[in-house]
């Protein structure tokens, strides 16, 4: 089976808060994260295509706020793709992924490939 992902995923045992349309909020444990999206554990299925604000928890009250869309939901977890974020948030996300990657240089290489 061909790998469709173009970005390195790294294990990240943090938490993500999801601000849903209508204002409801849920917090889920993360399994992994990349520059393009994340996977969070959830026993509840979430509608594919749902857009929300993902708040990746860092230390204390600090978080990364990213507009995201659910692309997979199967009763074990949800996969989300990042749709929009501020440049400063992207730089912080990039640093987070680099710090948790086995090969941090690969992250920079991937960015160079996407610019080509």
Domain residue spans of the chain: 10-111
In the predicted model, is pLDDT for residue 3 greater than 50? Answer: no
Whether the pLDDT of residue 110 is over 80: the answer is no
Distance CA 56, CA 38 (A): 10
Residue 47's pLDDT is 92
pTM of the model: 0.86
- Residue 25 pLDDT: 93
Which CATH topology does 10-111 take? Thrombin, subunit H (2.40.10)
d(CA 45, CA 47): 7
Residue 2 pLDDT exceeds 50: no
């Amino acid at each position: 089976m061909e790998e469709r992902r173009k970005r390195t995923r790294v294990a990240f045992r943090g938490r993500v808060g999801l601000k849903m349309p209508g204002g409801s909020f849920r917090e889920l444990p993360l399994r992994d994260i990349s520059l393009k999206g994340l996977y969070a554990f959830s026993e509840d299925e979430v509608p594919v295509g749902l857009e929300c604000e993902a708040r990746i928890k860092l230390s204390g009250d600090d978080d990364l706020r990213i507009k995201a869309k659910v692309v997979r939901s199967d009763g074990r977890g949800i996969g989300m793709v990042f749709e929009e974020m501020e440049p400063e948030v992207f730089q912080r996300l990039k640093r987070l992924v680099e710090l948790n990657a086995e090969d941090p240089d690969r992250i920079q290489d991937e960015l160079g490939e996407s610019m080509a």
